[in-house]
Structure 1
């Protein structure tokens, strides 16, 4: 079966993520150890116990990546045809792991540092992101452009669902304007970093150095958030990954570009993209979040 592999981004984290894998798989336990050693952090405590770090971006990102990586490792021996890996925001780095571009320890280090770079960019300002439902892309783009505020389209999730990013105060000012334009819902997210907008410019060059250090020369196809096109080499990764911080995520465009190449999508470590996909494509998306859903997906693929 031809599969598109999907990997969720920040915001999909929760306490208890990966515990069923840990309890039932030696491979998962070994991967927890690798991750813990990579950044000297107890991932069992981070992911299984109530704590503040799980929502701090420098820890959220490696936790989500580890969860997705374990789901993929437990699945990958199932016979399937790897067409491409596609991640949403942070998920692009999980996709790179699945495509063979990163070793696990290096992937954990890379996204840990990415999170710290993003935090540092907002040391002296408060950013956020805001979901807008019920407006077309062009209207939201026009509102942002004409606002004279520091706000930008950040995630093109599906028709009628777009996320904008910027300075928190500016986003709050934009809320009544978007509602006046006909938005069905406008919701400010509980976060202090504005991803995928020019406010992260200072993090791009340091991230490029990390990509150069950790990413392998060649790998299986990964779809870029920035271009909505596939790439397979380190040289291409050096072009798209640093600017991924400052450019919008073209998720729905990516799905539409390549949905005809696959029989089905599988989401590793979440169900967020499955929900979004229902609004974009008629192709089925199945999630792997624990041992039971892993078995269900394997049984579906093997018929």
Structure 2
């Protein structure tokens, strides 16, 4: 029997057309899209399947990715009853993972991450927030540079540990831009500002924490079918109280994705990614274990054939 670990992508995995094959070929997927549209008064068929500006706005990006991930997960589990060893997600994906454990209804999760996006957007209004991807520097060097620059008054923090030599930093956009020569001098192959207007996983989002905790209290259940690996600690949790604390901290703490995969690698034979393939790409740099992505009906059937 395969020991599996379920993984769920975060922001950056969105693209127009995602989930359309599920919607066109599954009455369950169609129903989930329609109910999500009613829940937050957003036409997900337009958001997901037609060219639009909203899909890149965090309050819409987040529910769109989560919904497609949970459709893929539901279609898989309708046929395959295997339970994963644990689940984990990248940033937003941790909320998809929580819902996959049974700790949150998928419609509550759709509304929760929509509100999370609005809270993040509000926290970053008027502070010129942004994020920058760095390639070719090790974690310690990035931490050393950002720490030194914070002592000089700049607002820059490590935000996502995606793999060896692949890290994202967050903060004030002008401060990030000003560090580009320093990173290049230190040996970075690339230092690229990302097209984002929020600064995720850093203290600039602290004003959003209390409200997010309120939503978590409202919609989370103390009913976890399996453990969730925390982005904050790279360790497992399995209760509502832990989830509330850790997901609030996740707003202002870096995503330890690389560390999480290394922590769970020995306990699994394979990873299954639901609704995207970005994590499959990251995992190739981190783990020797295979990752299979479910993004449409064909890939769903291919993964089901493994069981």
The TM-score range, normalised by the shorter chain, is over 0.9
Render the CA deviation track for 1:205-239: whole Å, top value 9, x for unaligned.
Answer: 10000001001012121110001011111011111
The answer to whether the Cα contact below 8 Å between 1:34 and 1:104 also exists between their aligned partners in 2 is no
TM-score, normalization: structure 1? 0.98
Distance in 1 separating the partners of 2:191 and 2:113? 29
Residue in structure 2 matched with residue 167 of structure 1 by the alignment = 172
Distance 2:250 2:27 in 1: 35
Aligned residue for 1:218, secondary structure, equals coil
Tell me the equivalent position of 2:84. Answer: 82
Q: Does residue 21 of structure 2 align to residue 20 of structure 1?
A: yes
Q: Within the alignment, does 1:125 sit opposite 2:130 as a pair? A: no
Q: Which residue of structure 2 aligns with residue 8 of structure 1? A: 9
Q: Which residue of 2 aligns with 1:65?
A: 66
2:199 matches 1:198: no
* From 203, 206, 214, the counterpart of 2:219: 214
1:34: Cα distance to partner? 1.4
Instruction: Give the drift of 1:80.
Output: 2.1
Gaps of 5+ in 2: none
Aligned residue among 132, 136, 158 for 2:163? 158
| In the alignment, structure 1 residue 256 sits paired with structure 2 residue 262 | yes
Q: Deviations over 1:17-56 (max 9, x none)?
A: 1000000000000100111111011100111111111111
1:41: which partner in 2?
42
Measure the CA separation in 1 of the matches of 2:83 and 2:22. 24
1:183 equivalent in structure 2? 188
Q: TM-score, normalised by structure 2?
A: 0.97
Over aligned residue pairs, what C-alpha RMSD do you find? 0.8
Q: How does 1:259-270 map to 2 (within 5 A)?
A: 259-270=265-276
1:79, distance to aligned residue in structure 2 (A): 3.6
**Aligned partners of 1:239 and 1:118: how far apart in 2?**
17
Where do 4+ consecutive residues of structure 1 move more than 2 Å?
none
Aligned pairs, how many? 301
The CA deviation at 1:82 is 1.4
Between the aligned partners of 2:40 and 2:295, the Cα distance in structure 1 is 24
Structure 1 Cα separation of the partners of residues 223 and 33 of structure 2: 26
Which position in structure 1 is the counterpart of 2:144? 142
Deviations 1:78-133 (A, max 9, x none): 14231111100000001011111110110011000000000000111111111111
